[in-house]
A = this chain, B = another copy of it.
Amino acid sequence: MNINLAVLSLDSPVFHTYAIAACLMILKLMLQPWMTVARMMKVKGGYRSPEDAKKTPLNPEPRAGQLDVDEYVDRSRRMNLNDLESIPGFLAAGFLFVLAGPPVVFAQIVIWTFVVARAAHFVAYVTAQVHDVRATCWTFSSLAVLTMVIYTLIKLL
């Protein structure tokens, strides 16, 4: 196959779509820990390291149990782990997919499917929807990445 390096320009429609989606997904990836922090501050617990139970300006009134697992905090940690399982794969797959030169509309559908599915997954997870709803959102996001990888592999081989 042949590749036109112009695809790497931010003016190329496919790369432009990828770059915006990638920025949004990196924002999500980096902001989820802030939700964990906010929840830890709110319940003054759900900490993980022994030293976090010490008296400090951010923890002025230490109490027993601050290191126990707290479901409210742990939910945000699980959401973060789910991001780690999904987003770096999307970022790398999407970049190679752009280089493989897919048709613009096809690329936009696949990339935005991922972003929308992850946004829906976030809402389903944070509001504790039943497993089937969350699993459906996750499935769409996973299939979007698999589509990008398989398309790229076929172009490469």
A27 at the interface (CB under 8 A from B): yes
A1-44 interface mask toward B, CB cutoff 8 Å, 1 = contact, 0 = none?
11101001111000010011011101101110110010000000
In the complex, chain B residues whose CB is within 8 Å of the CB of A78: 48-49
In the complex, chain B residues whose CB is within 8 Å of the CB of A103: none
Assembly stoichiometry (copies): 3
| A114–B19 CA distance with the chains assembled, in angstroms | 21
* Known pairs A49-B131, A153-B20; A88 contacts B88 (CB<8 A): yes
In the complex, chain B residues whose CB is within 8 Å of the CB of A155: 10
A156 at the interface (CB under 8 A from B): yes
| A2–B155 CA distance with the chains assembled, in angstroms | 28
Tell me how far the C-beta of A49 lies from the nearest C-beta in chain B, rounded to whole angstroms: 7
In the complex, chain B residues whose CB is within 8 Å of the CB of A105: none
| A50–B149 CA distance with the chains assembled, in angstroms | 33
In the complex, chain B residues whose CB is within 8 Å of the CB of A50: 71, 128
Task: Give me the 7 closest cross-chain CB pairs, A-B, nearest first.
Answer: A52-B131, A88-B88, A91-B92, A23-B153, A3-B10, A51-B128, A56-B132
A residues in contact (CB < 8 Å) with B? 1-3, 5, 8-11, 16, 19-20, 22-24, 26-27, 29-31, 33-34, 37, 47-52, 54, 56-59, 71, 75, 78, 80, 84-85, 88-89, 91-93, 96, 99-100, 125, 128-132, 134-135, 138, 142, 145-146, 149-150, 152-153, 155-157
